[in-house]
Structure 1
């Protein structure tokens, strides 16, 4: 893994830290620029993990139109730069030990992805690196390590299958687990170029609320999984009851919130729950019955995410059709969590020192924290 530099920011304007430094906590920041969302997390190292100090998420739809043009569109890039400026201001107010920023499928696929990231660095100070599908899967596994090994979910298993349904791709990780040493190794991964944005654009001429069209989405996605199954023979491990299934995505957390009957989304109520597959399937049927208006009005979804809910469910059902594990462990955690854990491990028990970041202004606007499960 490459060296993780301290946050350099941009010269010319600095902010005093608004974070209380009692206890000399070491802070780490992680930024995940995805196809659909821009997410930031600032966390303080604790014994055995970390505590979230600040969290920000905005739906920017960076990959909007990418399926048809192969390029990032102007309005999408402007929305994303607006969100990155807000993120730059937030990290610029804190003394960070280290920061890492990554971009995923949209920038991997787009002809102008690297050009956009150079512009983002010039305008916001973030040095964003495009990571491979393998590293994306590895970070997802890192973020869910405690769930993979948790005794709360029954007897130990020697395999874990993790899926992360994103905006532009779906990452699947097949993991060998040693429950006694509490270790895990990535046996294989699949970066499937099917996400909630790409699927909705690819099938844009049909309505996912139409049963036949929805079934077509499921079949299309499932077909892309056959080769991975043929290589790794996951089915026999499932039949021997040796596999845990872990889902980390807005789709899975939404299904869990519906099953739990939450009046509004609450990460604490969802993360780390065990969702029976029968209940998850019923929640999908519930979404179909709601229709577009009902999905938009639901407090755990809202109008911004309504377009992508059923395409996400189609991907989920394809995965579960292929690998029908009885229960799904739900994880409201992702690349940011994995990056923070890696930075903490890399930092080790070193003497505490701080780098005061700075950002170039003026920042034209501010937004309140939006910590979401999407």
Structure 2
């Protein structure tokens, strides 16, 4: 059993599926209109009533997936949590309610997952390009891809909730406001419109509740057969404006909980059609939550986009692959010796391996403080498959591979990953030290023993005597490790 939870700015969704013979069979769906974006002010503070509404929803979701192992559950938060001034205070409550970890994804990673969900549900055989769009409560994702692979991904800070609040905050619908809204929102799409138009696409597909709702209304009004066209959008806009007020909007087959934000959704879609030159858009039943499911299933099957992201960074920054491989091999060897005692799992092993492979990434910028440069790149790069927290954790491990420990980088991590991150930092530091000379040779008699927060590293005495620089580094290590809370002892044998 697998469960995917999408904490959107407008709705929270959960999909539970069973994986059989490589196929996913949906067994349950839950959706609640939470409207997180509605309770978010300009300073990033969340209204307490809206927060309580979100927590209550997650408690219900948590009850449904109580029997599913944590490794089979993935919960991702999007734009509204990204916009919080103090996201961690909300996430602590939210994780306790759900009973599982919740991670925050960047806009482009959200776009990748949207595309994956839509592409899996709408397979093509000719390999042609297609454009996928998802209008959420606080952001809009636009992607061009081929097959299952996204080529261009963009995320804009415009959504049905935020756009309705921005242009119709008092509930009044006027032609002047709509025209101003179209100008401003279309300007956002113009940032990448030329690139998209030059690439082109054979079909446009829309996902998410907003676009699905607009498609249903177009069908009920007999404007189309369910697809969305420019003429249908213009007709729908004129119909909406005729009501004069958001509260008075009445559209066929439109749910009550979507009425307060449908004006903003139509405006965003009309602006996108205009700026990108979309002639027709059909609607997909699948979206980001299905993308999360397929992404999880792919990881279990050995297809992890995070591996490709690490390889791409190594290539882009000219990482010494031989040295990276040496450090990676030693780090994994040390990990296996202490994993049981330190209660580290396969996910921790993957994080340590990734950090080892890119630990010298910062050398492309400068040798001085290269661990700081590397950490900055890792924390701020667009890395497919990684969440904000995963990038933050990876950056922390790389930042603390040498010199003094950055307590602030550790303090910024969620409480649940801080203890394991300290231990992964320790293992990487030892591996980096042992290979400081960049020599391609076997380290004689390397053994690591863990007891609580104490480590004993056994090394061959003659081998170490031939390496005075390494010996000096190891002797100074205890002073540099104070910020980790781990004691390292060297035993010569």
What TM-score results when the alignment is normalised by the length of structure 1?
0.72
2: CA distance, partners of 1:165 / 1:210: 22
Contact persistence 1:217–1:311 (CA under 8 A): no
| Aligned counterparts, 1:59-74, within 5 A | 59-74=33-48
Measured after TM superposition, the shift of residue 287 of structure 1 is 3.5
Query: Partner of 1:311 in structure 2?
Result: 264
Tell me how far 1:47 sits from its aligned partner: 5.3
Q: How does 1:18-167 map to 2 (within 5 A)?
A: 27-46=1-20, 49-93=23-67, 98-146=72-120, 149-150=123-124, 156=126, 158-167=128-137
Question: Aligned partners of 1:45, 1:97: CA distance in 2, in Å?
Answer: 14
Query: How many Å separate the matches in 2 of 1:321 and 1:308?
Result: 21
Report matched runs for 1:217-296 at 5 Å. Answer: 217-230=181-194, 232=195, 234-238=196-200, 242-261=201-220, 274-289=227-242, 292=246, 295-296=249-250
Higher Rg: 2
TM-score scaled by length of structure 2 = 0.56
Q: What whole-Å deviation, never above 9, does each CA across 1:38-86 have from its counterpart, x for those lacking one? A: 1111012255642221111111122224243311221111000000000
Question: How has the CA–CA distance of structure 1 residues 285 and 297 changed in structure 2, closer, same or farther, with 3 Å as cutoff?
Answer: closer
- Cα deviation for residue 204 of structure 1 reads 3.9
Contact kept, 8 Å, 1:72 with 1:113, in 2: the verdict is no
Distance 2:105 2:262 in 1: 26
- Compute the displacement of 1:277 (Å): 4.0
Q: Secondary structure at the match of 1:144?
A: helix
Q: Which residue pairs with 2:138 in the alignment?
A: 168
From 146, 169, 178, the counterpart of 1:214: 178
Counterparts in 2 of 1:208 and 1:160: CA distance versus 1, 3 Å: farther
In the alignment, which residue of structure 1 is the partner of 2:277? 324
Alignment check: 8 A CA contact 1:107 1:114 kept: no
Structure 1 pair 205–255 and aligned structure 2 pair: CA distance change class (3 A)? closer
1:174–1:43 Cα change, 3 Å: same
**Matches of 1:80 and 1:205, distance apart in 2:** 22
Aligned-pair CA distance for 1:320: 0.3
1:166 offset after TM fit, Å? 0.7
Distance 1:80 1:293 in 2: 23
Q: Please give the secondary structure, in 1, of the residue aligned with 2:37.
A: coil
Instruction: Please give the secondary structure, in 2, of the residue aligned with 1:69.
Output: coil
User: Which one scores higher on RCO, CA 8 angstroms, separation ≥ 6?
Assistant: 1
Flag the 1:204–1:112 CA change in 2: closer, same or farther, 3 A: farther
- RMSD of aligned residue pairs (Cα, Å): 2.7
Q: Distance in 2 between matches of 1:114 and 1:97?
A: 21
Q: Give 1:96 shift.
A: 8.0
Can you list the C-alpha shifts for 1:333-356, whole angstroms capped at 9, x where unaligned? 22110011112222239xxxxxxx
**Any conservation in 2 of the 1:171–1:191 contact (CA below 8 Å)?**
yes
C-alpha spacing 1:132/1:205, structure 2 compared with 1 (3 Å): closer
**In structure 2, what is the equivalent of residue 300 of structure 1?**
254
Structure 1 CA distance for aligned equivalents of residues 172 and 4 of structure 2: 34
Change (3 A) 1:204 1:223: same
2:229/2:280 contact within 8 Å kept: yes
Q: CA deviation at 1:276?
A: 3.9
CA separation of 1:318/1:48 partners in 2, compared to 1, >3 Å: closer, same or farther?
Answer: farther
Tell me how many residue pairs correspond in the alignment.
299
> Which of 158, 161, 166 is residue 194 of structure 1 equivalent to?
158
Distance change in 2, residues 1:86/1:343 (3 Å):
same
Closer/same/farther in 2, CA of residues 65 and 83 from structure 1, 3 Å limit: closer
Give the 3 Å change call, closer, same or farther, for CA 284–65 of structure 1 in structure 2: same
Gaps of 5+ in 2: 303-493
For the residues of structure 2 that align with 1:328 and 1:297, how far apart are their CA atoms? 20
CA drift at 1:293:
5.6
Q: Is the 8 A contact 1:208 1:310 kept in 2?
A: no
Partner of 1:71: helix, strand, or coil? coil
